[in-house]
Amino acid sequence: MGYQILGSDEDLPSLLTQIPLALITVGQIKSPETRKRLFSIIKKNGGQLPVVKSPDAYCSRHATLGEGTILMHGSLINANACIGENCIINSHALIEHDARVAAHCHVSTGARINGGVSISEGCFIGSGAVIREGVEIGSGAIIGAGQIVMRDVPSGQIVRHRYD
Question: Which pLDDT does position 77 carry in this prediction?
Answer: 99
Is there a binding annotation on residue 62? Answer: no
Which string of b and e fits 92-103 if b means at least 16 CB within 10 Å? Answer: bbbbbbbbbbbb
- The parts of the chain modelled with pLDDT lower than 70 are 1
Question: Which pLDDT does position 122 carry in this prediction?
Answer: 97
Question: Which pLDDT does position 131 carry in this prediction?
Answer: 99
Question: Which pLDDT does position 4 carry in this prediction?
Answer: 86
Q: Which residue type sits at 51?
A: V
How many CB atoms within 10 Å of residue 66?
17
Contact predicate 163/148, CB 8 Å: yes
What DSSP state is assigned to residue 136?
A: E
Contact predicate 62/47, CB 8 Å: no
Question: Which pLDDT does position 5 carry in this prediction?
Answer: 85
Question: Can you give the pTM of this predicted structure?
Answer: 0.94
Question: Which pLDDT does position 8 carry in this prediction?
Answer: 87
Q: Does 97 qualify as catalytic in the annotation?
A: yes
Q: Where are the domains of the chain?
A: 9-44, 50-164
Question: Which pLDDT does position 142 carry in this prediction?
Answer: 97
User: How far, in Å, CA of 95 to CA of 147, rounded?
Assistant: 16
Q: Over the stretch 19-53, which tens digit does the pLDDT of each residue have? A: 899 999 888 878 899 999 999 999 999 999 999 99
Secondary structure (DSSP) of 55-100: TT-EE-TT-EE-TT-EE-TT-EE-TT-EE-TT-EE-TT-EE-TT-E
Superfamily for 50-164?
Answer: Hexapeptide repeat proteins (2.160.10.10)
Which one of the listed residues 73, 92, 97, 161 is annotated catalytic? Answer: 97
